[in-house]
Structure 1
Amino acid sequence: MKSLKNLSLLIVSLVLFCSFSIKDSPSYVGKWKGKDKGDIGYLTLTKDGYALFEFDGQIMGGKSFTRDGTEASMHYEVEKKENYYHIDFIVKKVEDKETLGTLEGIFKMNSESQMVLALGFDGSARPTNFETDQITLNKID
């Protein structure tokens, strides 16, 4: 009887332990490197929802940066679609969280270490495909 009780306790413990697994970060979280028209740039998507763009040594985004003399932050939101993701890069004032601008895009994961990103620049609508204005990014961190 005692061994049956111990076995039951062990099984219950294993079930509880396995049901509380640690959630890994999505594969798109990390630092990405891409080349566009000969220029190398970086995109970092953090676990806590911040985004940073880096071109020619200049960094835009993250928890705090200056945009047109205003302290701002840039975060991102991702929505899973059937074969790709929607991504929005949202710039807000740090002071009062007023939205200063949004850059809409789509991306797909070719693998855990390669992403194709298409963005709607200059206030244009979110791209609907990867045929134009797309860049292939490789994960470096």
Structure 2
Amino acid sequence: MPRTPSSPLLLAGLLAGAAVAHTVAPKRFDVTVPRSLPGSPRQWTYASGVVELALAAGVAHPRTRRVAAMATAAFFVGVFPANVKMAVDARTQSPAIRAVTLARLPLQVPLVLWARQVGRGATTG
């Protein structure tokens, strides 16, 4: 039996859902933007939402899937500092919030691997 690749449409849905969340509840994401980045946190929040939406569209379409999936893997690596900042900022929060923010850190690895697998499983043409 052939190995079934991870669902590209599920990955696209995850990205699209994240893009919508960045638009609907931007304050939640603004606080995760590292202070060292230029501009306002809201600009970065909206920009990351736009990027997620573009990646979702690219992953969903078979002709762009390979490139978009690899770009998605790079994006997941690129937003990792925001997850670290979230965990650091949660030091003064409840133990439950600290646990959730710390648990998110290693979850970035399977997301990167999933995107890479979707890209490798994509057919060209």
Q: TM-score, normalised by structure 2?
A: 0.24
Which fold has the larger relative contact order, with Cα–Cα distance below 8 Å and residues 6 or more apart in sequence?
2
Structure with the higher fraction of residues in strand conformation: 1
Structure with the higher fraction of residues in helix conformation: 2
Give the greater-gyration-radius structure (CA).
Answer: 1
Q: TM-score, normalised by structure 1?
A: 0.22
